[in-house]
Amino acid sequence: QVQLVESGGGLVQAGGSLRLSCAASGRTFSPYDMGWFRQAPGKEREFVGHIIWSSGKTYYGASVTGRFTISRDSAKNTGYLQMNSLKPEDTAVYYCAYRAYASNAFGSWGQGTQVTVSS
């Protein structure tokens, strides 16, 4: 029902910034929240943060708190992940995910976008 398309990944030097976008499309878009996750090769998937769609309230994982900011543009059905003060350990594939009010789990995922931070 909902398709997510991510963009904005790339190569950046340590200390730099990137902004990822997650555009949702489909006939039905009634989100409870949109989440962001990341996974590096050989590592487990890590929770980055999420945003409650109706209120805009955000929550973050400990490793990114104070550096990353999640936001959304409801009119565009698009979420954003602003990443500042990037570190080499932030290198990973980043995924956005969608959870509908009717669901108690994330049911739609983006294709992933590579973020590489060089030292």
Residues 6+ apart with CB under 8 A from 50: 33, 34, 35, 36, 58, 59, 70
Residue 70 in tokens? 């999640």
Predicted confidence at residue 103, as pLDDT, reads 86
Predicted confidence at residue 26, as pLDDT, reads 86
The owner of tokens 């398709």 is: 3
Predicted confidence at residue 30, as pLDDT, reads 87
Predicted confidence at residue 118, as pLDDT, reads 97
Q: What is the pLDDT along the chain (119 residues), one digit of tens a residue?
A: 799 999 999 999 999 999 999 999 988 888 999 999 999 999 999 999 999 999 999 999 999 999 999 999 999 999 999 999 999 999 999 999 999 988 889 999 999 999 999 99
